[in-house]
Amino acid sequence: MMLADALIVSAILFSIGVVGVLTRRNAIMLFMCVELMLNAVNLSFVTFAKLHGVSGHVFVILVMTIAAAEAAVGLAIVISVFRHFGAVDLPSLKLLRR
Amino acid sequence: MALLQTSPSHPLDGSIAEWVWLLPLLPLLGAVMNGIIAVRAGTFAATVADSDDHDHATPPAGRGLVSLIGPGVMLLAFALAVALFLAMRGAGDLAAPFIRSLGSWMPAGDLRIDWALQLDPLSMLMTLIITGVGFLIHVFSVGYMADDRGFARYFAYLNLFVAMMLVLVLGASYPVMFVGWEGVGLASYLLIGFWFRERANADAGRKAFIVNRIGDFGFLVAMFLVYAQTGALDYVQAHAGLAVAAPGVLTAIALFLFVGCTGKSAQIPLYVWLPDAMAGPTPVSALIHAATMVTAGVYLIARASAVFAGAPSVSLLVTVVGAVTALFAATIALRQWDIKKVLAYSTVSQLGYMFVGVGTGAYAAGVFHLVTHAFFKALLFLGAGAVIHAMHAAYHHAHDHTADAQDMRNMGGLGRYMPRTSALMWIATLAIAGVPPLAGFFSKDEILTSAFARAHNSPLAEASLLGVPGSAVLYGVYGLGLLTALLTAVYMTRLMLLTFTGANRTGATAASALHEAPALMGVPLAVLGVLTVVGGWLNLPSLIPIGPAHLLADWLAPVTGTATRVLAGDAHLSHTAEYALIGTAIATAGIGIAIAFARYRSPVPTKAEAPAEQGVASLLHEAYRVDAGLDRVVVRPLAWLSTSVLWRGIDRALESLFVQGSRAIARAAGAAHDWVGGGDVGRYAWAFTIGLLVMLAAFTVR
């Protein structure tokens, strides 16, 4: 029972993240939604670690590390984008177009 | 053909006849050399700046050399032809043709077509006419074209024509003949449009080319049929194969060959180009459009006599077309004012006579008329050329650039200024009218006699044309021929009377400059005059004992003898009948001349003052308005079809389809790519998510 509940929470969290990524226009909000998705995945890892042993925990540590690095790099980009364009609004950043 | 090459012996083997290849090569060489001179002189590249073809101040570039090369190669060719002729006379048995291959042209499977030349009595005769009359006309041209800027270009074309004409008559197979056939068509086109800066001349050239195209189609189809039937295209093998062919096949082949003849030899319905062909220089009209090229159809029928002998109904058709054309053109000639137009229609009419001859199976008679016609019509055309030359000079002297130098209403009384030309042209006129003992009398009489004789007891009389028995057809043809002879005498005498007698109508200033043609032009005229007088002796009827009879018929016997015998059957005329026919012919000529003297001695107004013609006269003057009719029925619908349907309809539609269509495809591809890779991160995310869901679904949903 415990397991199913945890997985449902994880799925809900992941879906919120996905919807956020699809609908939000602000780059910072996008980042936060991505973090949300990562953490939803982490939750499933931890849940399954109860069944399959310690490797799930190892993955969670790895994902958190990567997520931290990604956030650092991503935020740095966002800051320079903001400096360059004066906004972090995604639809306005369409230099490839025409 | 390979088989024939190795066939053991021909009386001409190793003789001078081995040099036959030089015959077409000589004029071809002349054409190349004159062409090079013309190119170097820049006369091919016409610019608007030098719009005047005549320049009396400076002689045309390279005139000296060209006047040496042009007639020179012709003289050499003629000398060679005479030498070959003498060799053939001495060779004895000429039953088989002398064939020499210059190399393989189209080896394709079982078919082998060589560049092969054939010497036999018929091709020898044609060669003598072409090189002999051709040489005289070349000499005349040196005088006639002396002040023309395109002097070298002119002789390049003229030499090219002779080379092609020789290929036509010397070729040993239908394809080689076809090369010459097309080659003379090209030369004719180039020379009709020689003064191409005037649109009418260029149009006349194109008209000749296009109308001939229709005839050429017939020739080609005939050739395909010959190949399909016999598997060979050289005369010897093809005619041998056709000897056993079904009558239906022979009829079809003969019919299509005749379509080719009507084009090249200007018979109804394809005669329309010849009167317009007079746009070229007058010596060209004499050589190409009177003496040689237009007789190619007659030559073709004589050459393919084996085919026509097997198809009596087509032979009847040839006869009828010839007779109708002869009368039709003669009536038009009655009311022409342009001296060259009269001669042009006269040529169409005389060609009709030749077709009556070869149609009735009297091949020797048809070819005989071809020969005599070459003499007297060349003389008439060159005489007309001398007249036009004088008229031009006279109007030039009077600074009159509007008067028509070819209109007989502007001439009159020229006999006083040009007695020699006048006398020679009178000889030719009497010859064409059929006055004995001049050349035209004998040939025309022989044609009419054979038409009359074969109306009884011959395969032709027993054949029928569209249900009409051949006998009735031939009597009708004889009647038409006699009527044509009458009209011929009338219109030719009219031409002479209008041109050379009566009061002078050029105006006093111009008349003072009228002069006899220079010697360079006079000598060829005189030679042709002699030939016109004695030409009849080539083939005297046995009835008139003034010389050896049937020389030409005997000479041609190896080529056309068999076919002549087949079509003649048991036809025979009593001596009384023959005398009666000769008497009728002479009387007809006399009556015609008398009518002309009675009608055309009265003064006529000049072209500028002449009232418009009325009724029948205007109908005849406008040649039955055939050109206008053709314009309405053929030319305009075709032009409409080309512009409205083919161009504005189909071409434009294809243009839209392919050009605009490919543009639309490129646009759509660009737009799609723009949507996919346009830089909108939101859209990437959506695409990514949807893609992921689809993949998940593909792996999980069953």
Contact list, A96 vs chain B (CB under 8 Å): 677-679
Of B674, B679, B686, the CB nearest to A95: B679
pLDDT, residue B108, reads: 84
Indicate yes or no: CB of B679 within 8 angstroms of CB of A21.
Answer: no
Indicate yes or no: CB of A94 within 8 angstroms of CB of B679.
Answer: yes
Rounded Cα distance between B559 and B565, Å, is 12
Contact list, B672 vs chain A (CB under 8 Å): none
Please tell me the pTM assigned to this model.
0.82
Rounded Cα distance between B434 and B333, Å, is 17
Is this prediction's ipTM beyond 0.90?
no
Indicate yes or no: CB of A25 within 8 angstroms of CB of B682.
Answer: yes
Contact list, B674 vs chain A (CB under 8 Å): 97-98
Q: What is the dihedral of CA B96, B101, B105, B111, to 10 degrees?
A: 40
Residue B8 has pLDDT above 60, yes or no: no
Question: What are the backbone angles phi and psi of residue B53, rounded to the nearest 5°?
Answer: -70, -25
Residue B6 has pLDDT above 60, yes or no: no
User: How close B673 gets to chain A, by Cα (Å)?
Assistant: 10
pLDDT, residue B56, reads: 54
Task: Collect all residues with Cβ–Cβ distance below 8 Å to B486 and sequence separation of at least 6.
Answer: B588, B589, B591, B592, B595
Note the pLDDT tens digit of each residue in B602-618.
888 888 777 888 888 88
Q: Which of B680, B683, B690, B693 to mutate to test the interface with A (most CBs of A within 10 A)?
A: B680
* B-chain residue closest to A94, CA distance: B679
Indicate yes or no: CB of A93 within 8 angstroms of CB of B678.
Answer: no
Note the pLDDT tens digit of each residue in B242-300.
988 888 999 999 999 999 999 999 998 899 999 999 999 999 999 998 889 999 999 99
Question: What are the backbone angles phi and psi of residue B366, rounded to the nearest 5°?
Answer: -60, -45
Give the mean pLDDT of B575-580. 90
Note the pLDDT tens digit of each residue in A51-73.
888 888 999 999 999 999 999 99
Question: Residue B2 — pLDDT band, cuts 50, 70, 90?
Answer: very low
* B-chain residue closest to A21, CA distance: B685
Q: What is the average pLDDT score of chain B?
A: 89
Query: Any idea where the domains of chain B sit in the sequence?
Result: 1-221+268-303, 374-610, 627-700
Indicate yes or no: CB of A91 within 8 angstroms of CB of B685.
Answer: no
Among B154-158, B350-354, B572-576, the least confident range? B572-576
Question: Residue B583 — pLDDT band, cuts 50, 70, 90?
Answer: very high
Query: Any idea where the domains of chain A sit in the sequence?
Result: 2-92
User: How close A24 gets to chain B, by Cα (Å)?
Assistant: 9
Q: Which of A29, A31, A94 to mutate to test the interface with B (most CBs of B within 10 A)?
A: A94
Indicate yes or no: CB of B674 within 8 angstroms of CB of A98.
Answer: yes
Question: Residue B49 — pLDDT band, cuts 50, 70, 90?
Answer: very low
User: Is-contact B339 B275, C-beta < 8 A?
Assistant: no
Contact list, A97 vs chain B (CB under 8 Å): 674, 678-680
Contact list, A88 vs chain B (CB under 8 Å): none
Indicate yes or no: CB of A97 within 8 angstroms of CB of B680.
Answer: yes
Indicate yes or no: CB of A22 within 8 angstroms of CB of B689.
Answer: yes
* A-chain residue closest to B678, CA distance: A97
Question: Residue B7 — pLDDT band, cuts 50, 70, 90?
Answer: low
**Alpha helix segments (H runs only) across B266-338:** 273-276, 282-286, 296-303, 305-309, 312-334
Q: Which residues pair with B469 in a beta bridge?
A: B464
User: How close B685 gets to chain A, by Cα (Å)?
Assistant: 6
The class of domain A2-92 in CATH terms is mainly alpha
Give the mean pLDDT of B294-310. 93
Rounded Cα distance between A58 and A63, Å, is 9
* B-chain residue closest to A91, CA distance: B680
C-alpha pair distances (Å), B352 with each of A47, B216, B355, B383: 113, 19, 5, 23
Contact list, B689 vs chain A (CB under 8 Å): 18, 21-22
Contact list, A18 vs chain B (CB under 8 Å): 689
Note the pLDDT tens digit of each residue in B527-560.
999 999 998 888 888 877 777 888 898 899 888 8
User: How close B678 gets to chain A, by Cα (Å)?
Assistant: 5
Of B674, B678, B686, the CB nearest to A22: B686
Q: Which residues pair with B573 in a beta bridge?
A: none
DSSP conformation class of B105: E
Task: Collect all residues with Cβ–Cβ distance below 8 Å to B124 and sequence separation of at least 6.
Answer: B81, B84, B85, B88
pLDDT, residue B52, reads: 52
User: How close B684 gets to chain A, by Cα (Å)?
Assistant: 9
Rounded Cα distance between B698 and B423, Å, is 109
Give the mean pLDDT of B568-573. 83
pLDDT, residue B613, reads: 80
